[in-house]
């Protein structure tokens, strides 16, 4: 049975999960971020009329070597973390992805047709 191995590292309460505000957004701009310590892009993501556009620094250069290929993609991001300064850039949201050990990141995305701003939960 899946999950029967007893894995419990980092367990959280359900209320902790509910406090994380994850939303659907669409990347409207992606550009190289050479000032970052690790190869990254600066992303501008549209979360619809309620939240609007937010910016993020994302280490996606291994999987997505051309930033133009990111524009138009829908993503899932945490929108209620406090902003972080990364090499002088104010990153407002955390774009989510699955990460491999070699630096490869695959962006999480909703099913096609999901409106920007919808909450994940």
The domain limits of the chain are 14-110
* Residue 51 structure tokens: 């939240």
Contacts of 77 (CB under 8 A, 6+ apart): 22, 23, 25, 45, 47, 54, 56, 93, 94, 95, 96
Provide the whole-model pTM.
0.88
Superfamily of domain 14-110: Nucleic acid-binding proteins (2.40.50.140)
pLDDT the model gives residue 114: 96
Residue 79 has pLDDT above 50, yes or no: yes
Tell me: pLDDT of 1 over 50. no
Residue 101 tokens, joined? 């050990």
Q: What is the pLDDT of residues 93-120, one digit of tens each?
A: 999 999 888 878 999 999 999 999 999 9
Write out pLDDT tens, residues 41-77.
999 999 999 999 999 999 999 899 999 999 999 999 9
Helix and strand numbers (H, E) in the chain are 2, 10
């Amino acid at each position: 049975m899946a999950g029967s191995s007893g894995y419990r590292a980092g367990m959280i309460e359900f209320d902790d999960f509910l406090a994380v505000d994850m939303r659907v957004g669409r990347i409207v701009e992606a550009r190289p971020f050479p000032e970052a310590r690790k190869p990254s892009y600066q992303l501008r993501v549209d979360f619809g009329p309620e939240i609007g556009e937010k910016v993020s620094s994302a280490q996606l250069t291994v999987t997505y070597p051309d930033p133009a290929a990111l524009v138009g993609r829908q993503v899932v991001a945490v929108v209620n973390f406090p902003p972080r300064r990364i090499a002088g850039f104010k990153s407002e949201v955390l774009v989510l992805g699955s990460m491999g050990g070699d630096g490869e990141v695959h962006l999480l995305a909703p099913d096609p047709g999901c409106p920007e701003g919808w909450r994940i939960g």
